[in-house]
Chain A
Amino acid sequence: MEIIVCIKQVPDPEGSQDCFVINREALRVEPRGIPPVLSLFDENALEAALRVKDARKERDVKITVVSMGKRISNPVLQKALAAGADALVKVEDDVFESGALDSYATAYVLASTIRKIGKYDLVFAGRQAADWNAGQVGFGIAHLLGIPAVALVRKVEVEGRHAISERVTASGYEIVKTPLPALLVTSNEVGEMRYPTVIQRREAKKKPVVSWGMAEVGFERRVQNRLVLKGLFAPEMRKRQCHFIEGETAAEAGRKLAQRLRTDGVI
């Protein structure tokens, strides 16, 4: 069984606000002092794929990670290989500058890449990228490949030629059955990706990595963006003066907090 997982490299979203320096002229966000990491939502997607691999009795699952960007760091993507993916396909080109392509054009490139890889039973994508947060690309890939998409998947099992997915809904969850090949957009409820061991990290360096350019995947410049980025600005943080409540012990501070909230009419 062939599984493809789409993973994006992003600046660490857990960095503080001043790490995201805004270049208003170039309409770019220039991360400062934070390392590139795998987008957390895509780690969820890979974890879901790895669980399918773990559960498969036939032991015939191959997971290929596809990543596109202007320049993709091998050490960053090696984490995905160390966690259990079998191969990496990088699609690199200067025109893939972060934010230069909208979801439509991005989906077009990734769908073309997946077509070039050729064989796939399941394609996984995270619910959104941790940088531009659009949440559209997975659906676009499915649309362009002409395969069904199931979104907000927190758990998946493969039974014969069907994927049985649990998807998160506002009031609970639902179980849906989809014929393969299918694309699954995972939700963050899948949980964190497993942590690779030192041995797995070492082994990861031996796994196959290929790099393709724009022309090789058949992307043409005439694929137009549907959106225009007009500006970037820093959000207003509603900073407040914090009154720290102290006590001899933390428990006492907790009791005093209750009294203070009452006195101030908050509760």
Chain B
Amino acid sequence: MGSDDAVLVLVELGTDKEIMPLSLECATAAKRLAEIWGGRTVALIMGNGVAAAAREMACYGVDDVLLVDHPALDGYQAELYVSAFLQVWERQKPKAILMGDSLISVDMAPRLAFSLDAGLITDCVAIKVDETDVSFVKPVYSSNVMAVYAFASEPWIVTLRPRTEDAAPREDTGHSQVIPVEVKLDLSAMKTEVIQRVIERDEGVKLAEAHIVVSGGRGIGGPDGFEQLVELAKVLNAAVGASRPPCDLGWAPSQWQVGQTGAKVAPSVYIAAGISGAAQHIAGMQSSKKIVAINRDPKANIFRIANYGVVGTCEEVVPAFREALAEILR
């Protein structure tokens, strides 16, 4: 280890300490960048009791896996994770650091950037390579414009949106080495204290894994409208989503949010009920295979990207639609 042209992937783990698919997509991006520079790819796993995840990560074609296993890193806590990362940095100073775009990187990536005096490109949707020139595409102006950025200094930090790259394939042989890195964490020096962690387990189908997503917007009318959508989702075995306004108004939990500030989904079918189609919402769902829109305004933007449309209020359309589907799918 040392200062080199390495590209480091900061691996994110799920609630069961499993590797998030997005981190494997980052591994693919890391390989692309490392090839240009002739550098190594390094994956960094941080957490408590995560040695198994590190061994698993070694199967995805990265050159090294660094493992920081520490009881204090049980669950993300900004100050501790940043402190641990900076200690790894003392031993390995990669040219680029890649993270998946998530609620963790939204918090951690800017902290790392300012700590390392590094540039950061968040929410990158494409990496452009022109010989040795590398630039990154990112939506700006609520996804109405795309900006192309390059770095003026090193190191680089980039957070990647899901599906920017294919996930690195699992390889049967030639697994990389897992290198444990010791860190010292002084809990008494931490200013912010986590008093309580509350897990709100969603009973239904997960947004990221759903083949069908049923999503509601302001036109749903209120929390009652979302109860209707939950019923519709049950009939279709679908996940429930929402545009930003219902989440801001407390009609729907924030975990349901689809769009630039929420989940980015691409299911087989996306049913948008009472969603007008603001660019920031479309950014999170336009890759869906088929889009069905229900909206009272025939001129609503959502119809421009929909395959099927019904003009009418959700109050009238949704219950009838659900009953007919229940009949058909019985």
Q: A residues within 8 Å of B by Cβ?
A: 11, 13-17, 19-20, 22, 29, 44, 102-104, 107, 127-128, 130-136, 138-140, 143-144, 148-152, 154, 164, 168-179, 182, 187-192, 224-235, 237-246, 249-255, 257-262, 266-267
Report whether B248 and A226 are in contact in the complex, using a CB–CB cutoff of 8 Å.
Answer: no
Report whether B141 and A177 are in contact in the complex, using a CB–CB cutoff of 8 Å.
Answer: no
A187 to B122, CA, bound (A): 16
The interface residues of chain A lying within 8 Å CB-to-CB of B120 are 103, 134, 136, 226-227
Report whether A191 and B310 are in contact in the complex, using a CB–CB cutoff of 8 Å.
Answer: no
The interface residues of chain A lying within 8 Å CB-to-CB of B78 are 149-151
Report whether B318 and A148 are in contact in the complex, using a CB–CB cutoff of 8 Å.
Answer: no
The interface residues of chain A lying within 8 Å CB-to-CB of B15 are 171
Further 17 A-B residue pairs, CB within 8 A, beyond A131-B140, A251-B312: A133-B122, A133-B141, A139-B113, A151-B78, A154-B254, A168-B254, A175-B198, A229-B148, A237-B305, A240-B291, A244-B309, A255-B324, A257-B308, A257-B321, A258-B327, A259-B324, A266-B290
The 8 closest A-B pairs by CB, nearest first: A250-B312, A226-B119, A258-B324, A254-B320, A254-B321, A139-B110, A172-B200, A251-B320
Q: Is B111 an interface residue (CB 8 A)?
A: yes
| B289 CB → nearest A CB, Å | 9
| B327 CB → nearest A CB, Å | 8
The interface residues of chain B lying within 8 Å CB-to-CB of A144 are 114
Q: List 29 A-B contacts (CB under 8 A).
A: A13-B144, A29-B140, A102-B119, A127-B106, A130-B141, A131-B140, A133-B140, A136-B113, A149-B111, A151-B107, A152-B107, A169-B197, A172-B255, A174-B198, A175-B198, A188-B248, A189-B254, A225-B152, A226-B152, A242-B293, A244-B298, A253-B317, A254-B321, A257-B308, A258-B325, A258-B327, A261-B269, A266-B290, A267-B236
A225 to B118, CA, bound (A): 10
Q: Total interface residues on B, using CB and 8 Å? A: 98
A253 to B290, CA, bound (A): 18
A140 to B76, CA, bound (A): 20
Q: B residues within 8 Å of A by Cβ?
A: 15, 76, 78-79, 102-104, 106-107, 110-111, 113-115, 117-123, 135, 138-153, 191-201, 212, 236, 244, 247-250, 254-255, 260-261, 268-269, 278-280, 282, 286-287, 290-294, 298, 301, 303-313, 316-321, 323-325, 327-329
A252 to B316, CA, bound (A): 9
